[in-house]
Every structure is written in structure tokens, then in C-alpha cells.
Amino acid sequence: MSGIAKTPNPPYYAVIFTSFRTEGDNGYAEMAEKMEELAKAQKGFLGIESARDGLGITVSYWETLEDIAAWHKHAEHKLAQMSGYKTWYQSFKTRVCLVERDYGFEK
Amino acid sequence: MSGIAKTPNPPYYAVIFTSFRTEGDNGYAEMAEKMEELAKAQKGFLGIESARDGLGITVSYWETLEDIAAWHKHAEHKLAQMSGYKTWYQSFKTRVCLVERDYGFEK
């Protein structure tokens, strides 16, 4: 299970990826895990949060727009994106955001 | 089930609310539904996306920071926030973001 990302003080960037999957796994779970591990190894990666109950929301956090662009262009990630379009996703929306302010609470 | 929000062209704002619930419902589901309906009626509201599987992620979209501040201060929302701190949430993080760019895909 994903936790709340321990991000630094703003400003930093967030990529909100909202999606509906197609029917069946078709290799998705294995690739999703592999991509998460690979993302964590990239320059500027700050954290990731995921939840799905029908609609899936994954938010990844990054230091700079350049880090996001580099991850988007990563060769293995590009292959995964192609399978995303072809096989895994019915629809998705990606939003690239500047996190300006944050606050939290823990019991 | 929540869908992918039909937001306008950027720039606009996103509030990413990531949380872990406490045990039991304790009136949460009813209040969450009420707050979502109330949020939708606020000035500047653009959309909302939610998913939970252990970790919960709710992203609401807004035209301006002033709209976000007004909703944060709304009297009924303030009461719900108090119950959130006292009863419903084990931990949460709120991030206020400027959406700079977005793109999507639909089969």
C-alpha cells in the first residue's frame, strides 16, 4: 500500500495521473511495479502516492520540470507508455503542477 | 464512482488531499458526500477526483487561489474539517498546486 509522500518544503512539482484501466491485467501490475521502482531511481524524484477504486489516481512528486521531462523520455518508461495507450488504459489525464503550498496532520 | 474531471485549459489550480482514515465510519461517508455536493456549488469549482484503497487521494480543481481560500473558510466545511482532525483522519497532507500543463487520452 502506498503511503503519504514525505516531500520537502514547496516549491516542488507534482504530476497527477488519473486513469481508467481496460479489463484484465495484461501484464499491467508487473510493469506498474517496475515503473515505480525505476521512477524512484530517477534524478529529482521526491515521492509517489497511488490509490485506485475504479478511478485510479497516482501522484508523483519531482524537484524540477526538467526531471519530469527526463522521466517522461526515459526509454523503458516510453515502452511502458506505449503499452498504456495500446492495452492498459481506457482513458487518462496527466496534469503537471507546481506545488506552491502544503500542510499536514498526523495523530 | 468518481470520474476524470473535465477541467478547462490550464492554468488552473489543484488541491491534492492525501489521507489515511481512522477505523470505523463515524459519520464520515455521509459528510464526505455532503461536502462534495457543497464544494461543487462553490464559485470557481472545476471538478473533483477521488480514489481510496487504504491511502485516499482526492484532487479538487479550482479557478483561483481565492476560490480555494473561500472554500477552506466556508462555515460548514470548517465544521467538517474539525471532525476530520478529531475523528476521521489518522493523517493527511494537503498540497495546493498550480496546474501548468495537461494532456489526456481516451479510447
CB-based contact B59 A94, cutoff 8 Å: no
DSSP string spanning A12-75?
Answer: EEEEEEEEEE-SS-TTHHHHHHHHHHHHHTSTTEEEEEEEEESEEEEEEEES-HHHHHHHHH-H
What is the arithmetic mean of pLDDT over A35-42?
96
CB-based contact A94 B106, cutoff 8 Å: no
Which residues from chain B sit within 8 angstroms of residue A107, using beta carbons?
Answer: 22, 89-91
DSSP state of B35: H
**B57 and A49 in contact (C-beta within 8 Å)?**
yes
Which residues from chain B sit within 8 angstroms of residue A4, using beta carbons?
Answer: 18-20, 55, 91-93
CA distances from B1 to A8, A55, B4 (A): 32, 7, 10
The grid cell for B104 is 489526456
Q: What is the pLDDT of residues A43-72, one digit of tens each?
A: 999 999 999 999 999 999 999 999 999 999
**B10 and B95 in contact (C-beta within 8 Å)?**
no
Strands B45-53 and B89-106: unpaired
Among the partner residues B3, B57, B96, nearest to A100 by beta-carbon distance: B96
Q: What is the distance between the alpha carbons of residues B18 and A77, in angstroms, rounded to a whole number?
A: 25
pLDDT computed for residue B29 by the predictor? 95
Distance of residue A58 Cα from the nearest chain B Cα, in angstroms: 8
Strands B89-106 and B12-21: antiparallel
- % pLDDT > 90, chain A: 97
Has this prediction a pTM greater than 0.90?
Answer: yes
3 state SS of A35: helix
| Nearest C-alpha neighbor of A90 from the set B101, B4, B47 | B4
Q: What is the distance between the alpha carbons of residues A30 and A101, in angstroms, rounded to a whole number?
A: 34
pLDDT computed for residue A1 by the predictor? 65
Among the partner residues A53, A91, A93, nearest to B53 by beta-carbon distance: A53
Among the partner residues A96, A102, A106, nearest to B95 by beta-carbon distance: A102
Q: Block means of pLDDT (10 residues each) for chain B, length 107 residues?
A: 92 98 96 96 98 96 98 96 96 98 94
